[in-house]
């Protein structure tokens, strides 16, 4: 049963990542005139399974119990400073063109992930209705 939602889970993670990255990139653009500001970006980090994170596994006390799933992470990535654009006279590292391009590329990736998630959910809804449409 959990295999049915595996694709949805990965698309959910992708949507969360691109949403958080959008907020960081928009914040960078908002600080384009802030002296000494260093832009930040988000790096994707895969969450360790629960049993690996704490070196324990959930025990099933009855064969009828559903196996436990790994908990979801709060953040979709690791935030890091990105001074690669170089500093201006006021030591601000934000390049408006660069940040706008990153924001646009991130928006396209978010839109694609959203369409794929909608398609997966529509397929599941169709299957759940025994092919009679929703």
Over residues 54-66, mean pLDDT: 64
Cα angle 59, 65, 68; round to 5: 55
- End-to-end CA separation in angstroms for the chain: 21
Q: pTM for the whole thing?
A: 0.72
CA 87 vs CA 48, 51, 108: distances in Å: 36, 44, 28
Cα separation, 11 vs 101, whole angstroms:
23
Cα separation, 24 vs 16, whole angstroms:
13
| Residue 131 binned pLDDT confidence (cut-offs 50, 70, 90) | confident
In angstroms, how far apart are the furthest CA atoms of the chain? 67
The tens digit of pLDDT for each residue in 9-54 reads 888 999 999 999 999 999 999 999 999 999 999 998 866 554 454 4
Q: Answer yes or no: is pLDDT of 75 > 70.
A: no
Cα separation, 69 vs 9, whole angstroms:
12
Cα separation, 10 vs 17, whole angstroms:
11
pLDDT value, residue 132: 80
């Amino acid at each position: 049963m959990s295999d049915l939602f595996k694709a949805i889970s990965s698309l959910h993670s992708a949507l969360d990542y691109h949403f958080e990255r959008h907020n960081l990139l928009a914040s960078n653009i908002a600080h384009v005139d802030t002296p000494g500001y260093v832009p930040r970006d988000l790096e994707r980090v895969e969450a360790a399974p629960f049993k690996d994170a704490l070196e324990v596994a959930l025990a099933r006390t009855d064969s009828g119990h559903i196996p436990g799933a790994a908990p979801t992470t709060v953040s979709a990535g690791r935030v890091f400073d990105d001074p690669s654009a170089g500093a201006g006279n006021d030591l601000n590292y934000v390049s408006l063109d660069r940040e706008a391009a990153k924001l646009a590329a991130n928006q396209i990736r978010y839109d694609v992930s959203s369409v794929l998630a909608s398609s997966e959910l529509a397929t599941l809804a169709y299957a759940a209705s025994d092919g009679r449409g929703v």
